[in-house]
Structures are given as structure tokens and as C-alpha cells.
Amino acid sequence: MAENFFDTPIEYLKGVGPQRAELLKKELGIFSFNDLLKHYPFRYVDRTKFHKISEVQPDMPYIQIKGQFVSFHTEGNPRSQRLTGTFEDISGSIDVVWFRGTRWILKALEKNTEYIIFGKPSVFKGAINIIHPDVEKVTPESFTFHSALEPVYSTSEKLQAKGLHSKGIAKLQKTLLSSLRTAIPENLPEHIQSPFRLISHHEAIVNIHLPKNEEVLRNARFRLKFEEFFFIQLQLLRIKAERTEKYKGFVFSRVGNFFNRFYKEKLPFPLTNAQKKVMKEIRHDLGSGKQMNRLLQGDVGSGKTVVSLMSMLIALDNGYQAALMAPTEILAAQHYRTLSQLTAGTGVYTALLTGSLKTKEKKEILAKLAAGEIHILTGTHALIEDTVKFRNLGLVVIDEQHRFGVEQRAKLWRKSGEASATQEKKSSPHVLIMTATPIPRTLAMTLYGDLDTSVIDELPPGRTPVKTVHRYESSRLRIFAFMKKQIAEGRQVYVVYPLIEESEKTDYKNLMDGYEAITHEFCRPQYHVSIVHGQMKPADKNFEMQRFIKGQTHIMVATTVIEVGVDVPNASVMIIESAERFGLSQLHQLRGRVGRGAKQSYCILITGDKISADAKVRMDTMVLTTDGFEIAETDMRLRGPGDMGGTQQSGIPGLSIADLGRDGDILQLARKSASTLLEEDPRLELKKNIILRRQIELAGKNRISWSRIS
């Protein structure tokens, strides 16, 4: 027996034993009593309620029916057999279907005997039926035993085969809870609980598994969600505080000639209020003596580039160099051109470093960089190779960070130029991470909770929102006609094809077929068509891009390489082929390529005639809104936070009951509570916070790597 009752290995629970224990560990990660208690139900069903068969609809959740089997029949061969039972009550009859274990089921079930079946109605071959329901013979206890709130647990096929379906797990929970000699230890101090009137940890755990009534269940869920968020936020905020304690930031105290000349002579437009607000936040960070770690979110076209440039100019004014890192060569080259244009004549020396440079050119750049002659270096991840040495790097801007893995960012973090080894505290360059992928607030707080965030929530004036429509493949001719009309008005058009790694070959074929169809329809000398895809050499890609940017070609056929950051204000039509294969955030990114000028722009989503319900929601969302945050929220609801674009590398901390899509309010409360607590007691040294320190130490054993961003 373990010292602590709750650490007792799961095999010692009555009803488990070695075989089931092995499976519980493998399939659900349940090693101890404590782990079992933390395996919360994901749903509750009302087992006191029965439906009449005549009321059953295909979109109903799990329901319960009482009746009798009147006949059975089997189809298929012995190895893949389907068993259908006709189940009747006074109101009608319904088919109940099994695909597995049919022989055994047939033997066990009796005709003309009362059963209760429990399952989810679905539609199969045009008729409503219930597949693989729970079936129970009616006994005198049938109607007294069930609570109105029966927990439903996630399980696996292997566990079910060993009798551990949801009910089996519920039984283990009951066994465990009834064998408790002591209360489940509290994990939050009183002063954290009382402002929110949280019920105790013990009461919450007991009621999450065996809810007394709806109200207590609500309280239990609130309490458990709160503590889940609270501990994540406490960790993140502590990491942030620790970093501030360990690392010093270069102090950029002055705003000098570089900045001022740019602002007065070169800035081609007044800043939007949102840009001004963000500049203020960044300037404050840069002057504070703390190292800046800021995430800048702003929808495509919101004007992040100029904000990053002005931040870099402040670094220059204080005698430091700056770097701007982009995810692709095309984007790096474009940033380089933009920066060069914007700073022309102001004495700023910028350079572009990419993997495709010749050795000699590269050497030259590296020498000038080390000598401090180059002020701003732009590039791809080639920037963080060890051979790249700055004289004194003061600020790193990372555009579209989600393309950079955590590891790459960590490398950058250590790249602190002539780090002052003599100082007690190490100085590190300031980091500004920019993303046009709007991250729902709740997700940002969880993934990037140790970063400060700024949001540009306003587009520059004079933009007309992009008109979006959803069309089926059958209307392609009409779409061609529309393209011609736009081109005749002097506009340019993108046509984008999906390129998904798993189906790369067919995708390339589709791209090429599409290109051929377009060149056939839009032929020279009247029309010129560019093509860009990942299998081209960077130089060729760039050449084609340039032709389009300069307006020498009318149509750009491409894969998603153009997704990020490319800026061609004259392009006003974005056509997305096989749009059902793109995720929402990607569609939104692509659409952001148009609508950059003052002219009306269009986005045409072309899909196959038959698409899934989810795909339909994605198309409808795109048609209905251009608000990136709204789209991101929908995306998260559809796919769950784990699949959100670009977050895979960072990983989402395990949330077992709280839901980032729905529990944003609780997250806010928990974060606020954690931050107030740390303000008062940053190292958790006060006596009243002992419980928390112990929890953190326990969690620290498997310290979460995702929080080590930058």
C-alpha cells in the first residue's frame, strides 16, 4: 500500500485486478486511485426518463426506451455479420442493430420479454434505428436504482471487452468513493475559494461522480473547472515572473533620429488608433528594463509590419541591431523590400539573409552583421543558425510565429549577441511575436499565458470588406466569366489549390490540371498567368511572384505558399478551389490576400456538390463574417482547441473538464485570482499558500514544456 491512500496503485481497488489495471493504465492513463477520481464523466444522462418509440427522432441524444424484441434477423457472413432486432412498445417499433458480438447477443436476448434499451438514435438506410445500445432486462429494481443523473465516462473498446464500459467505470468510482476513510485533500486555500464560494475539493469530486442533484453538480463542475484553469495560470504567471527575475532587458530609453525621421518624413499614412495603442505598449516594454515578450495579434492587413518597423527603429536609436524573421523566403523577401522602401534615405541599413544566398554573398552579410554595419537583418529561420552572429542584437521580431517550432524560438532566445557575462543577470533581446492567425482569447491565455499580448483590432481606413460567396464546381464557367470581367477592369486574380501532405501527388496533379484549364481559357496574348508552388526553385518562385506583384500577369495559380503575408493591393479576387478541404483559419488567411486596396474585392469558395455538415458550417461562416476572432472562435468550436492551426507544436495543456470554447468566463476569474495571489506572494512563501506551493511542486515534476515559449 502506498503511503498516501490516494496514491494507491489502481490494481488494489476492489473489482480491478492486474488485467484490468494494465488496461486502465494503457488506455486511460489511470495508475492510481487519484487518477481514477480525476477521470471525470463527460456527460450525464437522465435514466428516469423513458421515450415512446413513436417520439424518437434521429437528432436526439441518448434516450431510453422500454419494450420487447419481437423478431431478430441476421445478414452477412459469419465473419462480418449484422444483427437486427425489431423492438416494440405500444406506440410503434424500431430497429436495433449490432455489428459486433452478434452471436453472443442473439443467444442472450429473449423475445417477448421486457427490456430497457439505452442508446443514440441514428439513421441507417433511410430508417431510424439504434446501433449498439445498452440493453437491460426489466427487473423490480429497474425503476428505483437509476439516479436522474447517471454519469457517462469515456472508455475504449479494449476496456469494454473487459467489462469496463461507462457503467463499469461508474461502479469502480462508487467502490472507491465508498471506501474513503478520509476526505479527499483540499488543493486550494480558503482565501482563494471564498470569493467564488467554491465548494470543497472533496465535495466536488464526490458530486462529479455521484451527483446529488443538478445544483450540486453545477457547483462541482464550476469548482473543478476553476481549479484546472487556476493551476495552469498560476504556473504560467510564475514562469513569467521567474523570467523577469532572471533576465534583464536592454533598456531602450531614447527615441532618436532613426525613429523620428521615419515618423516625420517617411510614414506614408497616419497610424490607426489601434496601431498607436500597440506602439505605446511596446515602447513601455522596451524602456522598462524588463525583457519584452509580447505577442502581437492583428488580423491580416491590420498593419503589423509598420508597427514592427517602428519598434526596430527604437532599437537602432539605442545602438542595437534588430532582426525580422519570417516563415518563408517569399515573405522574408517581401518584408525586406517593404522595409527597404519604407526606410530609404533614412540611413537604415537592411539586409536579407535566406538559405538560397550564394556563399560569398552570405559571408559578406555575416561580416557586416558582426561588425554592426547592418542594422536590420531580415530572413527565414536561416537567421537562427549558429553561424549568424550579431554585434548586438536588441530586438527580434517574429512574424507568423506559429510556423516556428518552440525549439527554434528557444534557440533565438539564447542568441543574445555579446551577452554581458559579467553582469549577474543576463540580458536577452526583446521579442515581439506577430500573428495574423487570431487566437481565441481563452486559447491565447492558455497557450501564451506567459507572454504579454497586444491586439490591433482595427483595420486601416478605406478598406471595403471582401464579399465572399460559396459556389459549387458546376458553376465554373460563370466564375471564369466573372474573372474576365474583373481583369478587364484592371484587377488581378488568385486561384488557390489545396496541398495537403498526405495527398501531395494528387494535389499537384489537380493544381496542374487546374493551371492547364485556366491557361486554356485565359490564353495569350490577352492574358498572362503565373504559377507558384512548393516544388519550384525559390528563384523561380520569386520570379513568378514578382511578375504578379508588378502586374505583368493577371492570374496567380498557387498552392498555399501564398497564404502568409503576400501583399498585392491590386489583386481583388481570391478563388479557393476545393475549399471544403481547408480549415477555417486557413480560408481566412487566404481571403486576407485580397481586399487590400480600396476597390471591392471578392472571395469565391468553390466546393464539390456534396460536402459534410462541418464543411458547410465553415463555408457559411466565411460568407457571413470577416471578423478573424469570430472565425477563430467558430474554428475552435468545430475542431476543438487541440487542432487549432499552428498550435500543434506547442501543444495544449491537458484540460479534462474545462472547455476553452465555453468556459472563457471561468478562465478569466481563475487568471485574475492567480495573478492577484502572485502579486501579494510571488514565491508562495506565505503560510496561507502552503497548499499551493505543494501542488506546484508536484506538478513541477513533469514541468510543462509548452510554457517555455521564446
Residues binding ligand ADP (CB under 6 A)? 269, 271-272, 275, 298, 300-306, 436, 460, 567, 596
How many residues bind Mg ion (CB under 5 A)? The answer is: 1
Q: Please give the Cα distance from 622 to 98 (Å, whole number).
A: 40
CB 574 within 8 A of CB 543: no
The alpha carbons of the chain give a radius of gyration, in whole angstroms, of: 31
CA atoms within 13 A on the CB side of 2: 14
Residue among 301 and 417 whose Cβ is closer to ligand ADP: 301
CB 549 within 8 A of CB 577: no
What is the full DSSP assignment across 7-56? GSBGGGSTTTHHHHHHHHHHHH---BHHHHHT---SEEE-TT--B-GGG-
Residue among 305 and 621 whose Cβ is closer to ligand ADP: 305
CB 427 within 8 A of CB 247: yes
Residues in contact with Mg ion, shown as a per-residue x/- string from 130 to 169 under the rule CB under 5 A: ----------------------------------------
Minimum CB separation of residue 405 from ligand ADP in Å reads 21
| Binding partner at 430 among Mg ion, ligand ADP, none, C-beta below 5 to 8 Å by kind | none
Q: Compute, in degrees rounded to 10, the torsion defined by CA atoms 432, 435, 438, 444.
A: -40
Under the binding rule (CB under 5 A), the answer on residue 298 touching Mg ion is no
Residue among 18 and 268 whose Cβ is closer to ligand ADP: 268
Biggest CA-to-CA distance, the chain: 93
Which residues fall within 8 angstroms of residue 340, CB to CB, at 6 or more apart? 350
In one-letter notation, the amino acid at residue 484 is K
Minimum CB separation of residue 556 from Mg ion in Å reads 18
Residue among 287 and 460 whose Cβ is closer to ligand ADP: 460
The bridge status of strand 602-607 relative to strand 467-472 is parallel
| φ, ψ at 581 (rounded to 5°) | -85, -5
| Binding partner at 272 among Mg ion, ligand ADP, none, C-beta below 5 to 8 Å by kind | ligand ADP
Q: Please give the Cα distance from 633 to 641 (Å, whole number).
A: 10
Minimum CB separation of residue 567 from ligand ADP in Å reads 5
Query: How many helices (H) and strands (E) would you count in the chain?
Result: 23, 24
Position of minimal CB gap to ligand ADP:
303
DSSP H stretches of helix in 79-139? 102-108
Minimum CB separation of residue 305 from Mg ion in Å reads 5
Minimum CB separation of residue 318 from ligand ADP in Å reads 24
Position of minimal CB gap to Mg ion:
565
Residue among 372 and 597 whose Cβ is closer to ligand ADP: 597
| Binding partner at 566 among Mg ion, ligand ADP, none, C-beta below 5 to 8 Å by kind | none
Minimum CB separation of residue 402 from Mg ion in Å reads 13
| Binding partner at 460 among ligand ADP, Mg ion, none, C-beta below 5 to 8 Å by kind | ligand ADP
| Binding partner at 449 among ligand ADP, Mg ion, none, C-beta below 5 to 8 Å by kind | none
Give the C-alpha distances (Å, rounded to integers) separating 9 from 2, 6, 12, 560, 604: 8, 8, 6, 50, 58
Residue among 470 and 596 whose Cβ is closer to ligand ADP: 596
Q: Please give the Cα distance from 138 to 213 (Å, whole number).
A: 25
| Binding partner at 67 among ligand ADP, Mg ion, none, C-beta below 5 to 8 Å by kind | none
Kindly identify the residues of this chain, within the stretch 549-578, that bind Mg ion according to CB under 5 A.
Answer: 565
Residue among 316 and 332 whose Cβ is closer to Mg ion: 332
Minimum CB separation of residue 347 from ligand ADP in Å reads 21
Minimum CB separation of residue 334 from Mg ion in Å reads 9
| φ, ψ at 415 (rounded to 5°) | -85, 75
Residue among 449 and 565 whose Cβ is closer to Mg ion: 565
Residue among 9 and 460 whose Cβ is closer to ligand ADP: 460
**DSSP-derived 3-state class of residue 289:** coil
| Binding partner at 102 among ligand ADP, Mg ion, none, C-beta below 5 to 8 Å by kind | none
CB 602 within 8 A of CB 479: no
Minimum CB separation of residue 301 from ligand ADP in Å reads 5
On the 0-12 / 13-18 / 19+ scale of CB atoms within 10 A, 105 is middle
| Ramachandran sector of residue 227 (left: φ over 0; alpha: ψ -120 to 50; beta: rest) | alpha
| Binding partner at 306 among Mg ion, ligand ADP, none, C-beta below 5 to 8 Å by kind | ligand ADP
| Binding partner at 318 among ligand ADP, Mg ion, none, C-beta below 5 to 8 Å by kind | none
Residue among 117 and 295 whose Cβ is closer to ligand ADP: 295
Minimum CB separation of residue 493 from Mg ion in Å reads 21
Q: Please give the Cα distance from 335 to 325 (Å, whole number).
A: 9
Q: Please give the Cα distance from 376 to 273 (Å, whole number).
A: 26
Residues in contact with Mg ion, shown as a per-residue x/- string from 516 to 555 under the rule CB under 5 A: ----------------------------------------
| Binding partner at 275 among Mg ion, ligand ADP, none, C-beta below 5 to 8 Å by kind | ligand ADP
Could you tell me the three cell numbers for 452? Answer: 504579454
Residue among 300 and 603 whose Cβ is closer to ligand ADP: 300
Residue among 365 and 436 whose Cβ is closer to ligand ADP: 436
| Binding partner at 567 among ligand ADP, Mg ion, none, C-beta below 5 to 8 Å by kind | ligand ADP
Minimum CB separation of residue 237 from ligand ADP in Å reads 28
Q: Please give the Cα distance from 246 to 267 (Å, whole number).
A: 37
CB 314 within 8 A of CB 432: no
Minimum CB separation of residue 283 from ligand ADP in Å reads 17
Residue among 334 and 710 whose Cβ is closer to Mg ion: 334
Minimum CB separation of residue 557 from Mg ion in Å reads 23
% helix, strand, coil for the chain, step of 5: 45, 20, 35
Nearest alpha carbon to residue 561 among 643, 496, 504: 496
| φ, ψ at 21 (rounded to 5°) | -60, -45
| Binding partner at 302 among ligand ADP, Mg ion, none, C-beta below 5 to 8 Å by kind | ligand ADP
Minimum CB separation of residue 400 from Mg ion in Å reads 7
Minimum CB separation of residue 453 from ligand ADP in Å reads 15
| Binding partner at 498 among ligand ADP, Mg ion, none, C-beta below 5 to 8 Å by kind | none
Minimum CB separation of residue 559 from Mg ion in Å reads 19
DSSP H stretches of helix in 391-447? 406-414, 441-447
CB 617 within 8 A of CB 631: no
How many other CB atoms are there within 10 angstroms of residue 88's CB atom? 16
Residue among 232 and 339 whose Cβ is closer to Mg ion: 339
| Binding partner at 542 among Mg ion, ligand ADP, none, C-beta below 5 to 8 Å by kind | none
| Binding partner at 238 among ligand ADP, Mg ion, none, C-beta below 5 to 8 Å by kind | none
Q: Please give the Cα distance from 442 to 666 (Å, whole number).
A: 10
Residue among 279 and 511 whose Cβ is closer to ligand ADP: 279
Q: Compute, in degrees rounded to 10, the torsion defined by CA atoms 176, 182, 187, 193.
A: 110
| Binding partner at 13 among Mg ion, ligand ADP, none, C-beta below 5 to 8 Å by kind | none
Residue among 176 and 332 whose Cβ is closer to ligand ADP: 332
In the complex, the residues that contact Mg ion under the rule CB under 5 A are: 565
